[in-house]
Amino acid sequence: MLAGIRTKDLRKVYNSPPPLAAGAGGFSFAAARGKGKQPKPQIVALDGISLDVTPGEIFCLLGPNGAGKSTTVGILTTRVRPTGGQAWIGEHDVWKEQVPVKRLIGVVAQRPNLDFSLTAREILTFHGAYFGLDSHERAKRALALLDRFKLLDRADQIVRGFSGGMMQRLSIARAMMHDPQVLFLDEPSSGLDPQTRLLLWEIVREYNQSGKTILLTTHNMEEADALCQRLAIVDHGRVIAQGTPRELKASVPGGYLLRLRFGHQSPELLQRLQALAGVREVRATDGNGADLYADRGGSLVGEIANLALSSSVELCDVHISEPSLENLFLHHTGRSLRE
């Protein structure tokens, strides 16, 4: 049975700082109206997130830390109670039918939450037992996964001494142990070396090819671009843009972004920049800078330099980026994902 993911207007407001695992934090503070009580600071982690993930696709939530990605995953995996809105996995309402939902999903949390009292193999076999697999099947699947994730040589050691990357690999193996229809990966490649990251991507694609739905969160644009069929860009608990990587990149005016910094900046200068051929949009930024969205990149630099010279303004810095999701994020928020 194929299962997709749907959410409708999900909201989450924390009355206290959110747990570390939910990763959200630090934006909109609003005072609660308590009757005669000291108002508590409230943290709005999700502000109406609606998603529709088709069964069998790799969908990505891309956004900076604290955007609400982990809270969204938390709600979809029964770990966080939403303040408002609804969520479904397949046909099941996540908050009304938790047990059938839990049967359908596999979850890799942002930080390894392995059972430190057990060995790597036992973590997998006990996980299988919780999901009702018989002992023969458990042993067989555990062996296959340990092999696939290159953990066989440490299979019978307690996981406390494992490196971060090994724990992460084991967490992913565990999530796949009961062969879930929907796999959630919360920042799966953070802390992985490039080689292991490629192994992870390969495994994710392979798992997806067997018809499974995968929801992945990341703040890494390359990962989103390389892996996902569709993605949603999230910031401050809201979806800013949603679509295939190609559609999203095409939605940035011109596609290219030139980030410029001058000795000083004036409205006239911005106007002259706007008039250059191929420039679609110019935005002033802090510190005498300007972001220039255009349909070409390097070939503009000479013209910009000439223009600066003729305006007696020093051109201090130029950064060109080709059409990318980073440009899209910048265009919507004025901030870089890398900041």
Partner 1 sequence: MNLKTFLAMLARDAHVARRNIIPLLLQTFLQPLMFVFIFGRVMVGSGYMPPAYKSLLLPGIMALSMVGTGIWAVAMPLIGEFQFTREIEDRLLAPMDISWLAIEKVVAGTLQALAAGLMVIPCAWLLLRPGVDLNLRAPFLFAGIALLVALFSAVGGLALGCSVEQTHIGLMFSLVVAPMIFFGCTYYPWSALNNFPIMQKLVLVNPLVYASEGLRGALVPQYPHLPLIAVLAGLVFFDVLLLSVGLRQFHKKAVS
Query: Pairing relation of β-strands 58-62 and 230-235?
Result: parallel
DSSP 33-87: --SSSPPPEEEEEEEEEEEEEPTT-EEEEE--TTSSHHHHHHHHTTSS--SEEEE
In the complex, the smallest distance separating the C-beta of residue 156 from partner 1, rounded to whole angstroms, is 13
Site residue total, partner 1 (CB under 8 A): 37
Among 10, 13, 22, 282, binds partner 1 (CB under 8 A): 22
Among 28, 54, 113, 271, binds partner 1 (CB under 8 A): 113
In the complex, the smallest distance separating the C-beta of residue 202 from partner 1, rounded to whole angstroms, is 25
In the complex, the smallest distance separating the C-beta of residue 3 from partner 1, rounded to whole angstroms, is 14
Query: Interface with partner 1 includes 99 (CB under 8 A)?
Result: yes
Q: Following CA atoms 331, 335, 337, 338 in sequence, which dihedral angle do they give, to the nearest 10 degrees?
A: 130
Compute how many other C-beta atoms are within 10 angstroms of the C-beta atom of residue 37. 8
In the complex, the smallest distance separating the C-beta of residue 170 from partner 1, rounded to whole angstroms, is 11
Binding mask 74-93 for partner 1 (x = CB under 8 A): x--xxxxx------------
In the complex, the smallest distance separating the C-beta of residue 18 from partner 1, rounded to whole angstroms, is 7
What is the identity of the amino acid at 282? V
- Cα separation, 77 vs 96, in Å, equals 12
What is the identity of the amino acid at 104? L
In the complex, the smallest distance separating the C-beta of residue 52 from partner 1, rounded to whole angstroms, is 24
Q: Which is nearer to partner 1, 77 or 265 (CB)?
A: 77
Q: Which is nearer to partner 1, 83 or 242 (CB)?
A: 83
- Cα separation, 209 vs 201, in Å, equals 12
What is the identity of the amino acid at 5? I
Q: Which is nearer to partner 1, 129 or 276 (CB)?
A: 129
Strands across the sheet containing 213-218: 105-108, 182-186, 213-218, 58-62, 230-235, 238-243
In the complex, the smallest distance separating the C-beta of residue 177 from partner 1, rounded to whole angstroms, is 10
Closest Cα partner for 198 from 206, 108, 96?
206
Q: Which is nearer to partner 1, 129 or 143 (CB)?
A: 129
Query: Interface with partner 1 includes 136 (CB under 8 A)?
Result: no
Binding mask 148-187 for partner 1 (x = CB under 8 A): --------------------------x-------------
Decide: 18 and 25 in contact? Cβ < 8 Å.
yes
Binding site for partner 1 (CB under 8 A): 14, 18-22, 74, 77-81, 98-100, 102-103, 105, 107, 109, 111-118, 122-123, 126-127, 129-132, 174
